[in-house]
Chain A
Amino acid sequence: MTCRQYKDLMMGYLDDELDEAQRKEFDRHIESCPQCQAEFEQFKKLKSLTDSVKLAEPEDIIWEKYWSGVYNRFERGIGWIMMSVTGIALIIYGLFKAVETLIKDPNVEVILKIAILAFITGIAILFVSIMRERLYYWKKDRYKDVKR
């Protein structure tokens, strides 16, 4: 085994992840390799320093209220969906009514009516085109069924 391969054993040794045979093998290596021994000593000091850092436990009230923090998001999520869907429906309805009024109004010039209809047709074509493109790429996506 090379020193590089012993470095993997070194991490396992520090973290108590080796079996007895691997520990003995590593012990034998560092007895005969001063570079690995020096590096091992440094890593041991580093591990003891890192282990001394503990993350502060928050107050118990945080854990008691934790679920309500998650639950509130469900409620807000439902609120957002309802608001967005009805908002979009109302805007579309309002626009439809406004266009209908304009088209039916005999005082509005024909050229303006044609421009409004062309504008709406343009938006519709763009929308259909983007949706078709999305659908095409979604069907071609090789990873769409990958689940973790």
Chain B
Amino acid sequence: MQNTKKIPETKKVQGGCGQACSAKRYAASRSREAALIERCRKGSKEAFGAIVDKYMKDAYFIALGLVGNHEDALDLSQEAFFRAYNNIRSLNTKWGFFPWFYQILRNLCFSHLRKRKVRQSHSLEQLTEDEAVVFAGDCPSPDAPTEQMEMQRQVWQAVNHLDDKHREVIVLRHFRNMSYEQIAKALFCNKGTVTSRLYYARKELKEILERQKGGRLQ
């Protein structure tokens, strides 16, 4: 099964009342979330369980995109929820749960990556990407699977070679399908900064891929 789930707020309303309904649903969802957060602040683990249920896939896949390893992604995303619960009083409900939670998750992931780099430089280990994280989609011809998977592997390796700031926007945009507005909220910056970061991230990604292939993208 492919990972096509989006963050709940991104779901576009098909037909019907359009933007007005979408805004109403968003407001209702925010108000439900605010009520859950209030219960969490009073110590309700059940309410926090509902929040975990809502965001666990996003947390896991973002961590997977950032650290590239299933076990680490699972452990880091669960640790981020644990820390979020312990610090829930410092959450400003005006921003919503996810952008605040995302800051905890990304800091954990980047700190984990820094420690891993130090360990690897000390032990002379090579960086290994967990290839099982890349999933091949539908293949149009019998020759295509290997070719397609090889291409996907190269792209995944290139993403892993991006610096943290650039990998982050690529993961949020491509692997979580978040809109510029949602990325801006998660990164506490404006949409212009997101656009600019995406431009430089893609430029860097293109250069890495061209170096790997020894020529321009075909």
Which residues of A come within 8 Å of B, CB atoms?
A: 7-8, 10-12, 15, 17, 42-43, 45-47, 49-58, 62-63, 66-67, 69-71, 73-74, 77, 147-148
Contacts and interface: CB of A to CB of B under 8 A. Distances in A.
Interface stretch (B20-28, B31-39, B118-126, B197-205): B197-205
A67 B53 CA distance: 8
Contacts, number: 119
B134 interface: yes
17 contacts: A12-B180, A12-B195, A15-B198, A42-B206, A52-B151, A53-B175, A54-B135, A54-B136, A55-B3, A56-B3, A63-B56, A66-B78, A67-B52, A71-B49, A73-B82, A77-B86, A148-B103
Contacts of B91: 147-148
A3 to B, nearest CB: 12
Interface string B163-194: 00000001001110001100000001000100
What bracket does the count of chain B residues touching chain A fall in?
35 or more
A71 B78 CA distance: 9
A58 B70 contact: yes
B14 interface: no
Contact of A56 (B134, B148, B159, B205): B134
Nearest to A56: B135
B3 A53 contact: no
Given A45-B218, A148-B91, 19 more contacts: A7-B199, A8-B195, A11-B195, A12-B180, A15-B173, A49-B217, A50-B155, A50-B174, A50-B205, A53-B134, A53-B152, A55-B65, A56-B135, A58-B60, A58-B70, A63-B56, A74-B82, A77-B82, A147-B91
Nearest to A16: B179
B141 interface: no
Interface of B is mostly: helix
Given A56-B134, A58-B70, A70-B82, A49 B195 contact: no
B195 A45 contact: no
B216 interface: yes
Given A46-B206, A67-B49, A17 B199 contact: no
Contacts of A55: 3, 61, 64-65, 133-135, 175
Interface string B1-15: 111000000000000
Nearest to A60: B1
Nearest to B194: A11
Contacts of B86: 77
Nearest to B99: A148
Contact of B179 (A17, A70, A71): A17
